[in-house]
Amino acid sequence: MSKANQLRSRLTRPVVLVGLMGSGKTRLGRMLARALRVRFIDTDDVVIQQAGADIPSIFETQGEQAFRDMEAAAIRDLLEGADRRVQVISTGGGAPMRPENAALIFGDTISIWTRADFPVLLERVGRSNDRPLLRNADPEKTLREMAALRYPVYRQADIVIDTDAGSLNDILSRALARIEEALTS
């Protein structure tokens, strides 16, 4: 059995990624799911599908609170509802800030905080315009303020992976090794 297959056979909990926008949750999440041969799902995509609209439109027409309610519903479904299974889940950067989401995300799961320095975050988020909270004159300031509020919450994760150093393969190997450790400890 390959190392990833061995790991998959021991995995009994969902793997959940948290971190700031641009920190690489989706990128790493997809790679982990492929390596472990489990489903990958992004809570932003669940919300987009349910709302039938993209995130900027949801924020614009229904407001952030409505988005947060849909996000919380998606997290409940994936972590304690009908859709709970061994899978890799990427959450939106703000998701763990609701205590009920945090209880599920950092509960009976393997949680991973993806972390990167600000220049890297800014370069990545600058590639698209689909994040309404950064559509302002100073996205760096916004990200720094978010980090100050959110890092103490993200810190509850079982595993921290720096995504601004090394190749994608290296980042994946580090994450797999840390998951293995988390299953052993």
Binding residues for ligand S3P, rule: CB under 6 A, are 21, 25, 44, 55, 92-94, 131-133
Q: Which residue is nearest to ligand S3P (CB)?
A: 92
- Supply the minimum distance, in Å, between the C-beta of residue 163 and ligand S3P: 13
- Smallest distance from the beta carbon of 74 to ligand S3P, in angstroms? 10
Based on CB atoms, which residue is closest to ligand S3P, 13 or 27?
27
**Residue 112 and residue 66: Cα distance in Å, rounded?**
26
Lookup: tokens for 167: 């190749």
The whole-angstrom separation of Cα 182 and Cα 159 is 8
Q: Which residues contact 170 (CB under 8 A, 6 or more apart)?
A: none
Which of residues 7 and 90 has its CB atom nearest to ligand S3P in the complex?
90
Nearest CB to ligand S3P, comparing residues 93 and 139: 93
Q: CA separation (Å) from 102 to 79, 109, 142?
A: 11, 11, 22
Q: How far is the CB of 61 from ligand S3P (least distance, A)?
A: 15
> For residues 91 and 109, which CB has a smaller minimum distance to ligand S3P in the complex?
91
Task: Identify the bridge partners of residue 115 per DSSP, sorted by sequence position.
Answer: 162
Length of the chain: 185
